[in-house]
Structure 1
Amino acid sequence: METRSQWGTRAGFILAAVGSAVGLGNIWRFPAVAYENGGGAFLIPYLFALLTAGIPILIMEFTIGHKYKGSAPLSFRRMNKKAEGIGWWAVLVAFVISTYYSVIIAWAMSYSVFSFNLNWGEDTEAFLFGDYLQTSAAGEVGSFVPGVLIPLILVWVVVLGILFKGIKKGIEIANRIFIPALVVIFLIIVIRAITLPGAIDGLQAFFTPDFGSILNPDVWVAAYGQIFFSLSIAFAIMITYSSYLPKKSDITNNAFITGFGNSSFEILAGIGVFGVLGYMAGQLGVPVSEVVSDGVGLAFVVFPQIINEFPVLNELFGFLFFASLVLAGLTSLMSITETYVAGLMDKFKISRGKAVAFGGGLAALISLLFATQGGLNFLDVADYFINQFGVALIGLVEVILIAWVLRQLQDLKGHANEISDIKLGAWWTISLSIITPIVLGYMMYGLLVQNIFKQFETDSGNYGNYADSFILWSGWAVAIGALVIGIILATTKWKKSSVEEESLKKEAQ
């Protein structure tokens, strides 16, 4: 039996876990979500969500990976043979996300180069959608866009090259370089942002609390949603990463460090983003509320506009900002890709090289779709449906399965407490068995109402007002396909004798 790879140090694991959690969403999603849901007051439900869902699920997944010593499919199988399917479902969701996430990193890589000469010009929106992405109508593929294709190839060469090297010599070393570099670069950005004229207005808009919003249940749902999507939980990553931990590992402490490290970066990102937005609002003579944006619009339209207006060192600030997106994206993409590399290695007993070549190569090949003129529309719909009906739904199923169906919480708590300094008590059990299922259930109900039932109303359109057929094949088919393929993989036989599998299971217990 092969010895499973391990992290070289505890710091290496924590940097990798934080690197997975800290991604593009920390920079371009959290600031706008916080602003739109009560400003400074949003930090109250946000912290509550972190302590009752984020960190508890992190502890649960760290414990599963550490106890059962396998990828998500193998860990769930060792827990209960009938649970293997949820592991593959999570892996397939990660696979889909990697195919388009890599393309967004490629955009950021291109914009890092554009920053040197401010190539995006004055009309940054027209440049993004016209000159750069050359977008076509929804449903049309069109030809490859060289400005996206070339950096996309480079992204995959870097990520797959790191994964070929393995855990200790590849992922750990890369995160030891990328994460400190990301923090230093972003600190420079934040310091520059808060020293700009008008920055204080942006920070006041970001932090001024609207305590009345706390009474709105949608604000609490937004807080749980942000924590959930930000921490890389419920799509196989943290189970996979923790499976490489040595026998003596402080599970609970690691989860707290990862959770608070991720949230600290989000707040830092909010300070930087709103400092810059305050400056832009002052330059335009409009309220901060009129320049607030998120997602692709914030990163590739609003920020280039702001960089154009910078009093000095426009090019340097632009390069640093987009370089931070590249670094945050690469650390997350490595972790996402490792989930299906590990799954293939465990299931089919193939070498890491073959698993990286097949799994990573297939993802890279599919990602070429998003490097075409129609790629942005495919990306938009696939991202919405795989996140809402993949990641969020898996989280709900995973928690209910472990807490109520398999009743594994006490067993997992015992394992974590045996090796951790911080002992788990009623807080952890109540959070996972009651609070998290209720909140995630409410979220899923709202999403189903919004995306299915309201479609029967004559005045309600599809997500993004896309055509029914495009939503069906680019959205629903992707989300459902991940589940179906996951079930199929769960039914295939493992490339090991049943005796060896049983011995591994007993060893894990």
Structure 2
Amino acid sequence: MSSSHTQEPTREQWGTRLGFLMAAIGSAIGLGNIWRFPAVAYENGGGAFILPYLAALLTAGIPLLILEYTIGRRYRSSPPGALRLLSRPTEVIGWWQVTICVVIAVYYAAVLAWAVRYMGFSLDQAWEDHAGGPEGFFFEDFLQAAETPGDVSTFVPGVAWPLLGIWVVVLLILIAGVRRGIERANKFFIPLLVAFFVVLAVRALTLNGAAEGLDALFRPDWGALGEGSVWVAAYGQIFFSLSVGFGIMITYASYLHRRSDLSGSAMVAGFANSSFEILAGIAVFATLGFMAGQAGVEVGEVTDSGVGLAFVAFPQIISEMPAGALFGVLFFASLVIAGLTSLISIVQVVVSAVEDRTGLSRNAAVLGVGGAIAVVSTLLYSTDSGVYFLDVSDHFINQYGIVLAALVLVITVSWVLRRLPMLQREADSTSAIGLGVWWRICLGIVTPLVLGWMMVDSLIDEFDQNYEGYDTSFLLWSGWAVAGAALAGGVLLSLVRWRRTPTATNHEEPEGAPERSL
């Protein structure tokens, strides 16, 4: 390859390293940190779960972060463009990641809209007047959920208007750009989120029963370490909580300065994300300990995760605790902030890809593509079947979109293209911490094996029984079809002849014999 380079196109950059780190941490810290990690830890060995969790962080989470940071910074493009420069056929993986982000963005915003409404509901504990309690209020009064999943008969204005509000905020931040929009927003939101959760944790620790809750979470069951499912759960939690596998970190790293420290940034982002998860676990289980004490039952009997924890269990706790209204507002505001920073990063992947490959201005890309996603999101998830669409889409796009795309990417880069040595040199050239052979072993052996194991384990469960007992036909068109459409969409988009073809803007490896070492 000629040593001459095409002139590097102007590309916006982060204002500071702190700005990039805040954005990366904001993307990683999302709803799963708050409502998934505590339950996963509790169910998989309690305090003993920290060992496989840290092992997963060091052998899969941080290595994957470094890989995506390196690809993004080296090729300075969105996932389709960056992976095309890595090797032209891999462009399809980049577009697959973009379509996955579209699917996630459409439903992710709906949960934030629910949390916005629940900030208001917390003030007067609106769910107390419902005969079915918090659960009946959530599904019947608020969401007006259909009796049969998939049947759409009612539009729910109480979900539609906060959902539109969420999308207006997201699009305005994206229009402002990477430095003036995303960076500034995360510099404000992340400290605010941490402050809110510290207040929540301190308040929870003063409740009667908090010690029992923390004991239930952190009491180690060392025997659990011998169970393969516990290790799979640890890797799954790290994988899903770090925003790796679907193009976000490639996109964010494409705006980095040339001399940015990649491995150090990945360590900071990875451990910051994990620290917040532990803080969330303390706040959640101290609160659940109070709830168990009030009900006179064991903590395990009130433990929940996901939507059940946030919109059913916590409203019940808010009604029973002193100054519950303030606790409720802070809790749901934390959900909104954590989700908002993640949603911004997800939509930015799509916007960046459209900008890079079409030449559209940022405003046009945000309003055109982002606006279309917002319209679909509002129309689909403001219906009486929105909660069912969300549940199934989230399950299938996570298991057979994000995980599968990450598995394909890692195998392609490490085994098919054999580019890990080159990417390691790229990262080491500006990083304070050298990667060494451990990084190539983790990405070439450990991560593919674990992701493959997760995929097989998930498929066995899938065919053993229908997810959540849903009807097979509903799962086929709202779950499997969605995951399949994301893959098909990625393939089709990779075949389009775009106005712009990405060009290498960094030093390139000379062509020659393939690198055969791990």
What TM-score bracket applies, with the shorter chain setting the length? over 0.9
Q: Could you report, residue by residue, the CA deviation over 1:274-315 in whole angstroms, capped at 9, with x for unpaired residues?
A: 00000111111101010000000000000000011112x111
1:98-497 residue pairs with structure 2 within 5 A? Answer: 98-121=105-128, 123-136=133-146, 137-311=148-322, 313-368=323-378, 369-452=380-463, 454=464, 461-496=465-500
Kept in 1, the 8 Å contact 2:75–2:504? The answer is no
1:457 counterpart residue number:
none
For 1:116, what is the secondary structure of its paired residue?
Answer: helix
2:55 counterpart residue number:
48
CA distance in 1, matches of 2:481, 2:77: 29
For 1:113, what is the secondary structure of its paired residue?
Answer: helix
Q: Could you report, residue by residue, the CA deviation over 1:399-454 in whole angstroms, capped at 9, with x for unpaired residues?
A: 101100011100100000000000010111110001111111111111122223x3
CA distance in 1, matches of 2:212, 2:24: 34
1:90 counterpart residue number:
97
1:458 counterpart residue number:
none
Report the alpha carbon displacement of residue 508 of structure 1 after superposing the two structures with TM: 9.6
Query: Structure 1 residues 329, 34: CA separation in 2 closer, same or farther (over 3 Å shift)?
Result: same
Report the alpha carbon displacement of residue 503 of structure 1 after superposing the two structures with TM: 5.0
Query: Structure 1 residues 101, 424: CA separation in 2 closer, same or farther (over 3 Å shift)?
Result: same
Kept in 2, the 8 Å contact 1:78–1:505? The answer is no
CA distance in 2, matches of 1:89, 1:412: 22
1:37 counterpart residue number:
44
Q: Structure 1 counterpart of 2:370, which letter?
A: G
CA distance in 2, matches of 1:285, 1:419: 57
Kept in 2, the 8 Å contact 1:69–1:508? The answer is no
CA distance in 2, matches of 1:283, 1:70: 54
For 2:214, what is the secondary structure of its paired residue?
Answer: helix
Q: Could you report, residue by residue, the CA deviation over 1:183-227 in whole angstroms, capped at 9, with x for unpaired residues?
A: 000100000001111100000000000000000000000000000
Q: Within the alignment, does 1:3 sit opposite 2:10 as a pair? A: yes
CA distance in 2, matches of 1:379, 1:220: 27
- Residue of 23, 29, 32 corresponding to 1:25: 32
Aligned residues: 498
Q: Structure 1 counterpart of 2:497, which letter?
A: K
Q: Could you report, residue by residue, the CA deviation over 1:255-284 in whole angstroms, capped at 9, with x for unpaired residues?
A: 000000000000000000000000111111
Kept in 1, the 8 Å contact 2:422–2:509? The answer is no
Kept in 2, the 8 Å contact 1:68–1:508? The answer is no
Q: Structure 2 counterpart of 1:113, which letter?
A: G
1:73 counterpart residue number:
80
Report the alpha carbon displacement of residue 464 of structure 1 after superposing the two structures with TM: 1.5
Kindly report the root-mean-square deviation, in angstroms, between the aligned alpha carbons of the 2 structures. 1.2
For 2:413, what is the secondary structure of its paired residue?
Answer: helix
Q: Structure 1 counterpart of 2:477, which letter?
A: W
For 1:419, what is the secondary structure of its paired residue?
Answer: coil
Report the alpha carbon displacement of residue 174 of structure 1 after superposing the two structures with TM: 0.5
Report the alpha carbon displacement of residue 62 of structure 1 after superposing the two structures with TM: 0.4
Kept in 1, the 8 Å contact 2:85–2:504? The answer is no
1:63 counterpart residue number:
70
CA distance in 1, matches of 2:280, 2:119: 18
CA distance in 2, matches of 1:434, 1:447: 20
Q: Structure 1 counterpart of 2:433, which letter?
A: I
Q: Structure 2 counterpart of 1:336, which letter?
A: I
Percent identity for Structure 1 against Structure 2: 55
Kept in 1, the 8 Å contact 2:78–2:353? The answer is yes
Kept in 2, the 8 Å contact 1:7–1:168? The answer is yes
For 2:114, what is the secondary structure of its paired residue?
Answer: helix
Q: Could you report, residue by residue, the CA deviation over 1:53-102 in whole angstroms, capped at 9, with x for unpaired residues?
A: 00000000000000010001100001000100000101110110000000
Q: Structure 2 counterpart of 1:176, which letter?
A: K
CA distance in 2, matches of 1:220, 1:262: 19
CA distance in 2, matches of 1:44, 1:91: 33
Query: Structure 1 residues 503, 56: CA separation in 2 closer, same or farther (over 3 Å shift)?
Result: closer
